[in-house]
């Protein structure tokens, strides 16, 4: 086989694997992320989970999820497990704030923003009231 034919037929398997990984990342949308977030919070015994549809009201995300944990330890653990599940399922590294303290953890996936609070902190900030607006905009706690 002439040298130029062997060069043209060479396939870089590492480059092909990177392309496959990129394609896998794009095989989900905000609804898939929201479903995983809600399932993760349910699995970890989050309390008073509320989903607020931000469609048409904010360009920052499609949905906001607000939940409570009973202690700083549970809040931080729920946040870490959610981050691990997002990475495992979607290869998504979400931005996170407050995990080290555990009073209020903010996780921004791009399409879904998640707030996990200790109950006292959640009551103080009352994000549901601020973002729910009119009746029927947010869903009932699950």
Position 1 in a domain = no
Provide the number of structural domains found in the chain: 1
Position 86 in a domain = yes
Position 15 in a domain = no
Query: How high is the pLDDT of residue 67?
Result: 98
pLDDT in tens, 55-65: 877 778 889 99
CATH assignment of the domain containing 117: 3.30.460.10
Determine the Cα–Cα distance for residues 20 and 122; give it in Å rounded to an integer. Answer: 41
Position 142 in a domain = no
Q: At what angle do helices 30-43 and 72-90 cross, to 10 degrees?
A: 140
Structure tokens given for 117:
């609070």
Position 50 in a domain = yes
**H runs (alpha helix) in 30-115:** 30-43, 72-90
- pTM score, two decimals? 0.75
Q: Does residue 32 carry a pLDDT above 60?
A: yes
Is residue 61 a contact partner of residue 110, using CB atoms and an 8 Å limit?
A: yes
Beta strands 63-68 and 95-97, pairing class = unpaired
Position 106 in a domain = yes
Query: How high is the pLDDT of residue 88?
Result: 94
Residue 104, judged by CB atoms within 10 A of its CB (0-12, 13-18, 19+), counts as: buried
Query: How high is the pLDDT of residue 51?
Result: 95
Position 18 in a domain = no
Query: How high is the pLDDT of residue 60?
Result: 84
For residue 73, what pLDDT band results from cuts at 50, 70 and 90?
A: very high
Write out the residue range of the structural domain in which residue 127 sits: 29-132
């Amino acid at each position: 086989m002439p040298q130029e034919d062997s060069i043209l037929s060479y396939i870089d398997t590492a480059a092909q694997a990177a392309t496959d990984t990129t394609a896998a990342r794009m095989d989900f949308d905000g609804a898939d992320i929201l479903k995983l977030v809600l399932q993760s919070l349910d699995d970890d015994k989050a309390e008073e989970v509320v989903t607020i549809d931000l469609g048409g009201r904010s360009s920052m995300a499609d949905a906001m999820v607000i939940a409570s944990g009973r202690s700083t330890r549970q809040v931080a653990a729920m946040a870490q497990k959610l981050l691990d599940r997002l990475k495992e399922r979607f290869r998504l590294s979400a931005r996170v704030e407050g995990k080290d303290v555990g009073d209020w953890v903010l996780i921004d996936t791009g399409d879904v923003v998640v707030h996990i609070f200790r109950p006292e902190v959640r009551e103080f900030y009352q994000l549901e009231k601020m973002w729910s607006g009119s009746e029927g905009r947010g869903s009932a706690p699950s």
